[in-house]
């Protein structure tokens, strides 16, 4: 099915930078297809395992740890840059989530990006079993960051989420969704 992302800070429907995500499963493979409208394709990095969220990016947080503290972060830039890391959520401090980041050396995610006149389509496909971080059910959330061509950098960048966290941060375990409800 196809779902629309909303403003992450307010939960409002987005009209200027509409973003959708289609989520499917076939033969043990999960596929997320983001359609991001009105992008200027700002990408400061192209290499594997750079923090692509310094620019425009579509992102998935996904795992199976019952405590929701260990999960994978998958970022795809409009130039098909990929960042894949296992994250450990340590809690919060005055600046937001405290995370340990363990970059995955050999990616298990295949990506493809198609640039369009007014945006891009970013696809991530990976084995469902590869995202296991514990013995629980699969949870996730899907996001988009847009920087208006690099003009709006953190903390002012535009944030969109399938399940908005109601703040300027994505790593909020209480807002992760059950994948089975979106297939």
In sequence order, what are the residues at sequence separation of 6 or more whose Cβ sits closer than 8 angstroms to the Cβ of residue 132?
A: 63, 64
DSSP tag of 164: -
Q: What does the chain come to in residues?
A: 183
- Count up the domains in the chain and report the number: 1
Nearest one of 92, 107, 115, 138 to 41, comparing CA atoms = 115
Contact 32, 5 (CB under 8 A): no
- For each of the chain's 183 residues, which pLDDT tens digit applies? 899 999 999 999 988 899 999 999 999 999 999 999 999 999 988 778 777 778 899 999 999 999 999 999 999 999 999 999 999 999 999 989 999 999 999 999 999 999 999 999 999 999 999 999 999 999 999 999 999 988 887 778 999 999 999 999 999 999 999 999 999
Q: What angle do CA 115, 122, 79 make, to 5 degrees?
A: 55
CATH of residue 160: 2.60.40.1190
Contact 147, 134 (CB under 8 A): no
How many Cβ atoms are within 10 Å of 9's Cβ, its own excluded?
A: 16
Domain that holds residue 127: 2-182
Please give the model's pTM, rounded to 2 decimal places: 0.95
Q: Which residues pair with 147 in a beta bridge?
A: none
Nearest one of 163, 164, 166 to 182, comparing CA atoms = 163
DSSP tag of 13: B
**What span, in angstroms and rounded, lies between the C-alpha atoms of 55 and 138?**
28
pLDDT at residue number 16: 87
């Amino acid at each position: 099915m196809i779902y629309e992302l909303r403003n992450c800070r307010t939960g409002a429907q987005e009209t200027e930078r509409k973003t959708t995500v289609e989520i499917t499963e076939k033969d043990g493979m999960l596929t997320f297809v983001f359609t991001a409208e009105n992008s200027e394709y700002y990408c400061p990095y192209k290499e594997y395992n750079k923090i692509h969220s310094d620019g425009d990016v579509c992102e998935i947080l996904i795992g199976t740890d019952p405590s929701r503290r260990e999960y994978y972060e998958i970022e795809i830039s409009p130039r098909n840059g990929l960042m894949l890391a296992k994250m450990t959520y340590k809690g919060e401090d005055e600046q937001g989530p405290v995370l340990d980041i363990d970059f995955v050396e050999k990616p298990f995610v295949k990506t493809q990006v198609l640039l369009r006149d007014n945006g891009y389509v970013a696809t991530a496909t990976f084995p469902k079993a590869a995202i296991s971080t514990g013995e629980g059910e699969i949870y996730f959330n899907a996001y988009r960051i847009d920087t208006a061509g690099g003009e709006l950098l953190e903390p002012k960048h535009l944030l969109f989420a399938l399940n908005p966290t109601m703040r300027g941060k994505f790593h909020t375990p209480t807002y992760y969704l059950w994948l089975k409800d979106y297939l």
